Structure 1
Amino acid sequence: MTQHVPVTPGEVLELLAIREGATLVDGTMGGGGHTRLMSQAVGPTGRVISLDRDPGAVERTTELLADLTNVTPVHANYANLPEVLEDLAIERVDGILLDLGLSSDQLADRERGFSFNADGPLDLRFDPTVGEPASKMLSRLSAEHLADIIYQYGEERMSRRIARAVVERRRQRPIETAGDLADLVRSVVPRSKNHRIDPATRTFQALRIAVNDELRSLEVALTRMPPLLATGGRLVVISFHSLEDRMVKVAFRDSELLQVITKKPLVASASEQAGNPRSRSAKIRAAERVAS
C-alpha cells in the first residue's frame, strides 16, 4: 500500500510524448504512480526501467507493480543510470522522468526521521546503507558549516541562530530524533503569521539534501542522461526546490544534445494543488534530444 500521489501525471505523460513500444526510465520510482502510468502508455511491447535509491521503496513498490510485466525495478541512484542500462544491455531510451520530491511514503516512515511530526531517529538517508545519518552530521559539524548548509539548501534566513542552538544543545545531550531537532528549531525560529509551513521545514529540507548529496546527484545526472536518449527522446524533470530548478534550467539550456521544450516551467493546476498540497511547489521542465 502506498500513500504517495504522483504529481502532475497528465502533464508528465504529455511532455514525455510516449509512444507504444517505447523504452522509458522512471529515475525516481517512489510509490510507483508515474511508473504505472508510463507502463500503461508504452503497452505490452514497451518497457519501463524504474529506479530508486531507497531500498524500502523498491521493495514496497515492486510488490505494488507486480501485475505489470513490462516494468524492471532497480535499486540505484539515478545518477548511475548509464551503468544500470549497460547491465540491462540497453543502449538508448525514449524518455526519462525525474521526480525530485520526497515521497509521502518516506514522510510516513517513522523510523527514518523525514517527518518532524514523528519522533523517529534523525536519519534522513534515502539509502540507509550509504553515508551517515543526519544525527551524526549534527554531532560533528561546526556552527559555521551547519549554518552554511541550512542557509544554502534550506534558504533559511535564521540559519546561524539555528546552528548556534544545535551546537549549544549537543554540549548537553546529542540530537538523536526528528522530534529533538524540530523542537529545537521551533524554540529559536518564530512561526510566521503569513506562512503555513512549520518553522522546522527548511532546516529538515537542508539536512536531507546534504545527507543524500542530492544536488551533486542531480548535477551528475543532468550531464550523463542526454547521451542516453534516442533522437527525439525526452527528459522531464519535476523539481520542488529553487536550486534544483535552476540547475535543470541551466543544464537544459547549455546542453548541445538537448532542445528545450518548456521555455518556462509548468506548474500544477489550481485543482491539483487543492487536492495534492505537495504539488504546489512543483516545477516541470522538459527537453528533447536532438541529432548530434
Structure 2
Amino acid sequence: MVCRVTIPSPLSAAELGPDTTPVAYDVVGATAYITLNRPEFRNSQNSVMTYSLDAAFGRAVDDAGVKVIVLRGAGKHFSAGHDIGTPERDVDVKYPNTATLYWDHTDRVGGDQRLARETEVYVGMCRRWREIPKPVIAQIHGACIAGGLMLAWICDFIVASDDAFFSDPVARMGIPGVEYFAHAFVLGPRRAKEILFTGERFGAAEALEWGMVNHVVPRDQLEAKVDDIAGRIAEMPQLGLALTKKAVNICEDQMGLRNAMDSVFGWHHFAHSANAETMGGDSLGGMDAKSMKSSAGKQSS
C-alpha cells in the first residue's frame, strides 16, 4: 500500500474544544487520524489536550463516513504521559465535565480535589474512550510512558514501530501504577509486577511477545501498516464492528477489568494522600517531570 503523507491541520476552537494546539484532526477516506500535538513536550497530556482529544473522538464518532480511528503522536514520541511539569500544566483550570457526573475540582482542596479531577480526566475519560463504537488503532512510536499507556490501552489494536518503548514508573512516587489500571489484563500478572516493581522500560519486541501489541514494524513502515489494517477494517459493516467491540469489552469486564480498576483507583488515591501527609502537601511524592524522565530506567532485557 502506498504510504500516505499528510500534515494534519489543527481544528479551530469552535470545532475541537477548548484549544486548537494540543490535538490535530484529519480524515482520509474512511479513517479519522487524531494526532497528539504537543511535540515540544513529548505529547505530555495536560487537561486541554484531554478535552480536545475527547472532542476529536466525538467528531469521529459523529461522522458517518468514518469507519476507523487512528490515534498517533506528532514528533519523536507518542506520549511521555500526564503533564506533571510543563509551563502549560493546567491542573487548576475548570473545563466542563464530559466523562462523569461529578463536582468541579477547582473549588475543592486536598484529597477531594484530586479525586474529583482524576475521576473525570483520567479514569473517566479513558473509560469513555474505550467504549467508542468504532475501532480505534493506536499507532505508537518512541516513548509511551505512564499516561501514554493509558491512551494506548483504551485502543482496540496497538501497532508499534520497532523503536517504541513503554514504561509505567510511578511506583517511584509510592503509587501503584497509573489510574487506568489495566496492567494485569494487558500484560499478565507477573509481567505487570515486573514492569511496575522495576519501573524499567520494555521495548516493542517484548510488548509483542507479551501480547500487549498486535504488530511491530520498522519505523518507516509504521504508517503504511496502520493504514493497511484500517483499510481492511473499513470494509466491514459499521454496526457489526460496533457490536463486536462491545461484545469483547463485555467479556473483558466480566473477567474483572472494571471492578479491579475501581479497587486499585482507591489505593491510588490512598497513595496520593499518604504522599501529601509526609511531603508537605505534594501528592506526587516529590517527583516531577524531570525526575520521572530520568527514572524511567534502562531498556529491560
Same fold at TM > 0.5: no
> Quick check: which has more Rg, 1 or 2?
1
Q: Normalising by the residue count of structure 1, what TM-score does the alignment of the two structures yield?
A: 0.25
Q: Normalising by the residue count of structure 2, what TM-score does the alignment of the two structures yield?
A: 0.24
